[in-house]
Chains A and B, each alone.
Chain A
């Protein structure tokens, strides 16, 4: 089946640094990818919709200048957490939308666990 990868799987960084997370669709082209964040004991919250070749669409309350999204190709979207703070520590998950054969299926990456010290 379709596979979506994320890198890194986990990262620990100091407060104030920037962290880049990559999301790749491995065997299909994804014009749309989604970035979610999940805090402990809570559900996934959509942060932004990443569209290949255009600007991302951010959900209300998500700072676009802090969470930079780039979707430069049909198989890669990146999320950069700029000037990370401890409250940004979370589980970040991407998903990629596959529109093959008229079906619409979203496949999730394995997630990236970020810890900001």
Chain B
């Protein structure tokens, strides 16, 4: 089983749509969670951290369910510029050097 698994995608949605991405992680002791965005042929960039109580940043809402080991990202009123690959990322445990473990990514394409 992969340490971090995401929806396979791709997601093709019209502008203005609401889209949700899901992610599961295998290590119940994991403590830190993130969503990164990666544009084509570019490096990943931090979109937002995910907190236990859930958090929102503008049109983006991230949620964490520790019991189910499940992370989600909701994008409301999607824009053309939201088209990218979204990476679910979990920070490994201290004895793993605290390394970031990436999911395979979900591609989003927002169409006019």
Contact = CB atoms under 8 A, between A and B. Distances in A.
Interface of A: 32, 34, 42-46, 49, 57, 91, 93, 95, 97, 104-106, 108-111, 113
Contacts of B14: none
Given A42-B104, A43-B104, A110 B43 contact: yes
A97 B41 CA distance: 22
B100 interface: yes
18 contacts: A34-B99, A43-B104, A44-B44, A44-B87, A44-B102, A45-B102, A46-B100, A49-B99, A93-B43, A95-B100, A105-B46, A108-B43, A108-B44, A108-B45, A109-B43, A111-B41, A111-B42, A113-B41
Contacts, number: 37
B97 A57 contact: yes
Chain B interface mostly: loop
B54 interface: no
Interface of B: 41-46, 87, 97-105
A93 to B, nearest CB: 5
